[in-house]
């Protein structure tokens, strides 16, 4: 692993989400104001898959947007915030293209590329692949507000 990697525990210190809504399993590498590479493993018993009676569907496309948003928040935090503070994040405009369905057993490879990164927000371009196939391309605009604690 890279010196700039994050464990699940470190990710939990940044994101407000918890299981089952915490969708980033690990950050493999990142460089401030440049890129972040993360992974999400889709398991057969994923809460968002299937009908609860053994029938498994594709990983919902809407959750790919949430995966991308969580990765972008981690990237912003490691590029700008760099502290224990947890700002509030506000999702703005989202531009999405879907190419292939992700399924149970896939590992989503998530690459966040810097767009514009400011203290008060910005935007990032996120590419998601599974087994070498492009799953989606997402641009997320977001804002932040630091809490006064």
Nearest to 102 by CA among 72, 75, 122, 129: 129
Give the C-alpha separation, 108 to 45, whole Å. Answer: 16
Catalytic residue ranges:
55
Kindly state the tokens that stand for 11.
Answer: 């990710």
Residue whose tokens read 């959750």? 63
What DSSP string runs through 41-75? E--TT-TTSS-SSS---PPPHHHHHHHHHHHHHHH
- Name 116's bridge partners: 123
């Amino acid at each position: 692993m890279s010196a700039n990697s994050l464990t699940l525990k470190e990710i939990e210190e940044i994101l407000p989400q918890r299981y089952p809504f915490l969708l980033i399993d690990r950050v493999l590498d990142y460089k401030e104001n440049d890129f972040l590479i993360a992974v999400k493993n889709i398991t057969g018993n994923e809460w968002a898959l299937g009908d609860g009676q053994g029938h498994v569907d594709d990983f919902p496309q809407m959750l790919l947007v949430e995966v991308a948003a969580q990765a972008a928040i981690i990237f912003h935090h490691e590029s700008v915030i760099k502290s224990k503070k947890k700002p509030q994040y506000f999702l703005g405009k989202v531009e999405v293209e879907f190419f292939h369905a992700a399924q149970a057993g896939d590992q989503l490879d998530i690459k966040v590329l810097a767009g514009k990164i400011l203290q008060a927000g910005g935007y990032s371009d996120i590419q998601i692949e599974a087994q070498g196939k492009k799953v989606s391309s997402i641009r997320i605009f977001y804002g932040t507000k630091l809490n006064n604690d």
